[in-house]
Structure 1
Amino acid sequence: MQDQPRLHCTEPLAGGVTIALDPAQAHYLGGVLRRSPGDAVTLFNERDGEWDATIAALRKDRCQVTVGAQRRPPRSEPGPALLFAPIKRDATDLVVRMATELGAASIRPVLTERTNAARVNLDRWRAIATEAAEQCERLSVPRIAEPVRLPDLLGSWDDAVPLLAALERAPEGEDTRRSAAGWRRDAPPAVQPALLVGPEGGFSPAERGLLARCGFVVPVRLGPLVLRAETASLAGLSALLG
């Protein structure tokens, strides 16, 4: 835990400027943390980096902070994209939080034939990702993209981006899957892939056939055991990020 609150701020950050925080952040500082004018906070975003700031005024859901010196300049935070079939709410929340902490650049729900989550709350996901970025000291918050059906995803995919599909079992015949860690070790460092994780119960036979026909799809394995969907997402990201 950090002694100095760290908040993501979309406003331009520069020394000497005064910024109004959003009502939720104001409530967090005053109502939850019991901070007062004069107390220090840290602000950050991907565009401007990380900055010291001081609470200038704080009342209920209103807070103004004055930006001081820059702590860290902006920098690139490359990472793989995570595409996964939504699962039960608590498990999905865990995936979004941990994927942020592990360094995923973006997160996108993929709807498959066996996806059992009826609704996707993107605002909730974005709030979870933002809070996780604040805690883990990232400068960026992963992009949370709109849901997409698997056939539409594959049909619009950029062939230059490897799509690593986590398959819990080998296709019929010879096992052509690579380990995710082995693929990362052999690939050029500048190449950032995407990891695709299916639903509980795995991809359907038709979906496996569709994946097999896409030249940009790389079948991968995540270990010797069959993993739960949420575990597979986190194990795959860990392997790709080393």
Structure 2
Amino acid sequence: MATIPRLFVDAPLAEAGAVALDDEQSNYLLRVLRLEDGASVRLFNGRDGEWTATVHKTSAKRAEATPSRQTRTQPGQIGTRLTLLFAPVKKDQTDLILEKATELGAARIRPVLTERTQTRTVRADRFRKIALEAAEQTERLDLPEILDLASLDAALDALEPGTAVIFCDEAGDEAEAPWGGQAGRARPMLEVLEELKGRSAAILTGPEGGFTPAERAFLRGRAETWPVSLGPRILRAETAAISAMTLWQAVCGDWG
């Protein structure tokens, strides 16, 4: 059986309350999927759960959808909420981080400027579109909050009090050794996560080239910051973000 199309709408959802679809949504349903009057779609808005709705053409190029039945209720906050703080990298890799962070249940996503961040401008509207499409495809009932680009200090200061910052620290303490050698390596992330169950958390991943020694010293000296290791190999920035979120979901998130 074909999957019923699923769309996010920024409008209240209630029985018999018609929802106007925008140009892109209308084009997708009428021209790409070639749906006819009376076809079914699923709608969600991050507040009112998910509804089955009926499509009606309002013109050759526009459509509306009328909700008829709520199929999923909007849950309250379950467990802890996760923020992803990441240094933007190249376009395709940044897109991948946004998409997978949404799929993996991040509540908030914020790009962060570090000393070695190479991509220093981002488009929040584009980020939101990527997150919206990922939420539609992955059956989320809400969208992650996409926060503005901020400096490392500002991003940390903006976190809610008591948030545990999980600092993905790939370096050691030996200044002359490649990637800091083995001395001073952080504890394995799985070990640290066992101590953070039930707490709100923010995962922090760095840019290509990692954090500078000064940034690393600052983060290691900061209260409520937990340096963690993701293993013996140096991971790409996008791999580190996805791996860290996967581990957090498995131990502290809603996978259990």
TM norm structure 2: 0.88
| Rounded Cα–Cα distance in structure 2 between residues aligned with 1:79 and 1:34 | 39
Distance 1:158 1:42, change over 3 A: closer
Distance 1:121 1:3, change over 3 A: same
Residue 214 of structure 1: CA displacement? Answer: 0.9
The answer as to whether partners of 1:30 and 1:58 remain within 8 angstroms in 2 is no
Distance 1:193 1:54, change over 3 A: same
Distance 1:155 1:141, change over 3 A: closer
Q: Report the counterpart of residue 218 of structure 2 in structure 1.
A: 210
The answer as to whether partners of 1:83 and 1:196 remain within 8 angstroms in 2 is yes
RMSD: 1.9
Q: Report the counterpart of residue 84 of structure 1 in structure 2.
A: 86
AA partner of residue 223 (structure 1): G
Deviation larger for 138-147 or 29-38: 29-38
Q: Secondary structure at the match of 1:186?
A: coil
AA partner of residue 223 (structure 2): G
Question: 1:63-142 alignment to 2 at 5 Å?
Answer: 63-75=63-75, 76=77, 78-142=80-144
Structure 1 residues not aligned, in runs of 5+: none
Deviation string for 1:77-120 (max 9, x for gaps)?
65411000000000000110011111111110000110011320
Residue 192 of structure 1: CA displacement? Answer: 2.2
Deviation string for 1:135-171 (max 9, x for gaps)?
0000011110001101222344444000111011234
AA partner of residue 32 (structure 2): V
Structure 2 residues not aligned, in runs of 5+: 175-181, 251-256
AA partner of residue 179 (structure 1): P
| Rounded Cα–Cα distance in structure 2 between residues aligned with 1:221 and 1:139 | 32
| Rounded Cα–Cα distance in structure 2 between residues aligned with 1:90 and 1:185 | 33
Residue 21 of structure 1: CA displacement? Answer: 1.2
Question: 1:1-242 alignment to 2 at 5 Å?
Answer: 3-75=3-75, 76=77, 78-172=80-174, 175=184, 177-188=186-197, 190-242=198-250
| Rounded Cα–Cα distance in structure 2 between residues aligned with 1:31 and 1:56 | 14
Q: Secondary structure at the match of 1:109?
A: strand
Distance 1:216 1:20, change over 3 A: same
The answer as to whether partners of 2:171 and 2:185 remain within 8 angstroms in 1 is no
Deviation larger for 206-215 or 139-148: 206-215
Distance 1:156 1:54, change over 3 A: closer
| Rounded Cα–Cα distance in structure 1 between residues aligned with 2:60 and 2:187 | 54
| Rounded Cα–Cα distance in structure 1 between residues aligned with 2:11 and 2:220 | 45
| Rounded Cα–Cα distance in structure 2 between residues aligned with 1:60 and 1:115 | 47
The answer as to whether partners of 2:58 and 2:64 remain within 8 angstroms in 1 is yes
| Rounded Cα–Cα distance in structure 2 between residues aligned with 1:30 and 1:143 | 29
Residue 212 of structure 1: CA displacement? Answer: 2.0
AA partner of residue 135 (structure 2): A
Deviation larger for 8-17 or 73-82: 73-82
Q: Secondary structure at the match of 2:194?
A: helix
| Rounded Cα–Cα distance in structure 1 between residues aligned with 2:85 and 2:2 | 31
